[in-house]
Structure 1
Amino acid sequence: MSPYEPPTHRVERSLRATTGARVVAGVDEVGRGAWAGPVTVCAAVTGLRRPPEGLTDSKLLTVPRREELAAELTGWVTAHALGHASSQEIDELGMTACLRLAAGRALAALPVRPDAVILDGKHDYLGAPWRVRTVIKGDQSCVAVAAASVLAKVQRDARMAELGAERPEYEPYAFGDNAGYPSPVHRAALEEHGPTHHHRVSWAYMDALAKWQHLKRPRIVPETAELEAAGQLGLDI
């Protein structure tokens, strides 16, 4: 049994009552703070059924329990889909625009278009044409967002482990252990071998890699213009 207060359908029920939404998707991301790999967003539709025991924010779960829950959720959710934005897209567009891009891809991949979206956090990076309700700590309090949190985390971790195993030169970065996030092993590998194709080479960690400064990429789109750029690139899905 989870030691945390279980998530509920309170927000989903509120959206149904106040907006008439029948299909509500919970949306959460993983990979925002990583040095390497994509940012991954999951959109999950759960209906109002009782969730699996112990469902909560993926960060509060052990790896084995998270993987068990992900397997259970895959068959339990009404629908779910994943969207990704690559490290190259993050370098070119910035994180805010890529969150919007990945979330749009996930929502577009659902078999049914949601009437409303519950977005984890306080910032609506998705925007029009979606009807969005932001919820701080939604991955702990909302069933659909918690489900999206677990599914996104397990899928992205598995993908990063695959990247770390597919080519011998990626082994020093320990993607299978750190999923591309900062760690002493990851930093040491960067200092010795430099960034791979999967690293975000416009990020500030590159400033400490004197040997590899020639590989640092300047930001093409300023942070303040990220959402405008997303619109200009036709990312309203």
Structure 2
Amino acid sequence: MMAAMRSDETPAPDYAIEEQLTAAGATRVAGVDEVGRGAWAGPVVVCAAVTDMTVPPQGLTDSKVLTPRRRTAIAGELEGWVVAYAFGAAGPEEIDEVGMTEALRRSAVRALEALPERPDAVILDGKHNFLGDRVSSGRPWPVRTEIKADLRSVSVAAASVLAKVYRDTLMAGLGHEEYGFAANAGYPSPVHQETLKRLGPTPHHRLSWSYLDDLPQWRHLKKHRPEIEGQLSLI
């Protein structure tokens, strides 16, 4: 199936990947995407979304392509359109304890296990299967990794938008206005970086991140990173 073209020439996601999986026997496909991997503060959040493969809300695409206003509007439409969706998250303390790779895996498992019905196939954005094969139910999900799936798959695009709006709303509600969380969602904006230099990290900051190496007065707070894969979170 050829991807449709949006009015701005950005290819719209379609169901080509979902159709390949259903043709192979899957009856319920979940799109999975994460947000917050590269932030310095706040949780990493994973959303799992299941659709009925009907026409999605107009303008749906990767959340990063959308303006905040449009993203919020589409998320509102998606909430009543998708068959099911659920979130899983890991907070900064858990990220510091187990590393980003494991935190992503746990968040994805939590999201998938929170769905009302178990999907029998998962489309995961990216080239790495961070979901792995260890789940509390004892049965792993068949995973299809796809680079830029949030631009190509309707299910993953829906998960991308829902996860982004959910996490942005959560970050805006944390307070600490001087760090600019409502605007930067915990990512290293200039305001965020300058405030960190002056006031140091909050309880919402990840203390195993390398940004603390550049803050001599707060460097003593840095926690040991348990795995080298955690460095990927800074990319």
| Matched residue, 2:35 | 30
Cα distance change of structure 1 residues 100 and 2 upon mapping to structure 2, 3 Å threshold? farther
Find the aligned partners of 1:2 and 1:78 in 2 and give their Cα distance: 27
Whether contact under 8 Å (1:24, 1:47) holds in the other structure is: no
Whether contact under 8 Å (1:43, 1:148) holds in the other structure is: yes
Find the aligned partners of 1:223 and 1:83 in 2 and give their Cα distance: 23
1:176 correspondence with 2:182: yes
1:133 correspondence with 2:144: yes
Residue by residue, what CA displacement relative to the aligned partner does 1:198-237 show, whole Å, maximum 9, x if unpaired? 1001101010111111111112x22369xxxxxxxxxxxx
Which structure shows the bigger proportion of residues in helix conformation?
Answer: 1
User: TM-score when scaled to structure 1?
Assistant: 0.90
Residue by residue, what CA displacement relative to the aligned partner does 1:120-170 show, whole Å, maximum 9, x if unpaired? 000001122110000100000000000000000000000000002xxxxx1
| Matched residue, 1:10 | 16
Find the aligned partners of 2:104 and 2:229 in 1 and give their Cα distance: 15
1:43 correspondence with 2:13: no
Whether contact under 8 Å (2:48, 2:159) holds in the other structure is: yes
Residue by residue, what CA displacement relative to the aligned partner does 1:157-198 show, whole Å, maximum 9, x if unpaired? 00000002xxxxx12101001000011100111001100001
Counting only pairs closer than 5 Å after superposition, residues 124-203 of structure 1 correspond to structure 2 as 124-128=129-133, 129-164=140-175, 170-203=176-209
Whether contact under 8 Å (2:124, 2:146) holds in the other structure is: yes
Find the aligned partners of 1:2 and 1:89 in 2 and give their Cα distance: 42
Give 1:2 shift: 4.8
CA RMSD across the alignment = 1.2
Give 1:87 shift: 0.5
Identity fraction in percent: 61
Whether contact under 8 Å (1:2, 1:54) holds in the other structure is: no
> Which amino acid in structure 2 is aligned with residue 158 of structure 1?
T
User: TM-score when scaled to structure 2?
Assistant: 0.91
Of the three residues 81, 90, 95, the one matched with 1:85 is 90
Cα distance change of structure 1 residues 34 and 111 upon mapping to structure 2, 3 Å threshold? same
